[in-house]
Amino acid sequence: MSRNLILGACLSSLVVLAALISFAWTPYDHAALNIPDKLQTPGVQHWFGTDHFGRDMFSMIMVGARTSIAVALVAVGIGMALGVPLGLTAAARKGSWLDELIMRGNDLVFAFPSLVIAILITAVFGAGAINAIIAIGIFNIPVFARITRGAALSLWEREFILAARVAGKGAARISTEHILPNVANLLIVQGTIQFSLGILAEAGLSYVGLGAQPPTPSWGRMLADAQTMVSFAPHLALIPGFAIILTVLGLNLMGDGLRDWLDPRIRVARA
């Protein structure tokens, strides 16, 4: 295992751990306002200080991790659940009208700047975590569909698939029993990358006020709230900023590391 993978996995699991622990315990109630206590700098009592309403920043970051992960996870889930079957179908029916339809549809979605469309969706259907998930999820579909189709196409040329066809297996069975397990590696790597992009997208949408609505904490909104206070309470912006950076960095390193680790060609070359 590479150093990248270990570092990435550590950072990512730290965030996941914080999110999981927040279900059972946070140092303070993340939503409890305590205005006389506002704008405290990080210290023993409040590890990350308090925000402009006197809420404990550490608790908010922990629960905010939950929001980020939930949104990104479900968004990636949507992308995989719809994108992978589409990609498999397109590969199995290569060159047919169905393949064309699926792939040109993907191109269409891909052609739009994703964040702009996400803003449009949340503006039309209302701001909120659910709509943010759907908006981000839709843009994950073509990513997974393309990756799956590309990898599956080359697999369809291989002898073991030919053998399966000769044995009388239908395209659907071959796709699920033989193709899917062989593209899983790629999907895991891509999933990690999309996961980090999802976290960024959620932070971006929350920053402009279209993501999770208060009182649900969100890193992006914490940043937006901190904007006018950066000059006298920099920790309000730095802490959620670092949370986003470290999470995205961790996931990207992990994605890179996983690709190196899972890719048989590189593994062979290294051995």
Partner 1 sequence: MGQSLKRGFVSALALSSALIAGQAWAKDDIIVAMQLEPPHLDPTSAAAQAIDSVVYSNVFEGLTRFMGDGSIVPGLAESWEISDDGTVYTFKLNDGVTFHDGSAMDAEDVKFSLDRARAEDSANAQKALFAGITDVSVVDPLTVQVTLGEPNGNFLFNMAWGDAVIVAPESIDSIKTNPVGTGAYTFAEWVQGDKIVLERNPDYWGEQPALAKATFKFISDPTAAFAAMMAEDVDVFDNFPAPENLPQFEADPRFQVLVGSTEGETILSTNNKQAPFDDLRVRQAVAHAIDRQAIVDGAMFGYGTPIGTHFAPHHPAYVDLTSKSGHDPEQAKALLAEAGYADGFETTLHLPPPSYARRGGEIIAAQLAEVGIKAEIINVEWAQWLESVFKGKDFGLTIVSHTEPMDIGIYARPDYYFQYDNPKFQALMETLNTTTDPDERTKLLGQAQTMIAQDYVNGYLFQLAKTGVAKAGVQGLWVNAPTAAFELSEVSWVE
Structural tokens at position 26 = 């946070």
Q: Which of 1, 6, 21, 32 binds partner 1 (CB under 8 A)?
A: 32
Q: Is 120 in the site for partner 1 (CB under 8 A)?
A: no
Closer residue to partner 1, CB minimum distance, 8 or 204:
204
* Stretch of 32-40, 137-145, 174-182, 199-207 contacting partner 1, by CB under 8 A: 32-40
| CB atoms near residue 91 (< 10 Å) | 24
List binders of partner 1 among 230-259 (CB under 8 A): 231-232
Q: Is 35 in the site for partner 1 (CB under 8 A)?
A: yes
What is the SS3 assignment for 63? helix
CA dist., res. 103 & res. 114, Å (int): 17
Q: Is 229 in the site for partner 1 (CB under 8 A)?
A: yes
What are the distances in angstroms from CA 109 to CA 80, 124, 252? 15, 18, 24
Closer residue to partner 1, CB minimum distance, 25 or 232:
232
**Contact at 8 Å (CB) between 118 and 136?**
yes
Q: Which of 27, 54, 85, 105 binds partner 1 (CB under 8 A)?
A: 54
CA dist., res. 243 & res. 151, Å (int): 34
Q: Is 26 in the site for partner 1 (CB under 8 A)?
A: no
Q: Is 53 in the site for partner 1 (CB under 8 A)?
A: yes
> Cα-flanking dihedrals φ and ψ of residue 50, to 5°?
-125, 160
List binders of partner 1 among 174-213 (CB under 8 A): 209, 213
Please name which of 68, 62, 58, 47 lies closest in space to residue 14, comparing C-alpha atoms: 62
In the complex, which residues of this chain contact partner 1 (CB under 8 A)?
Answer: 31-33, 35-36, 38, 52-54, 126-127, 209, 213-215, 227-229, 231-232
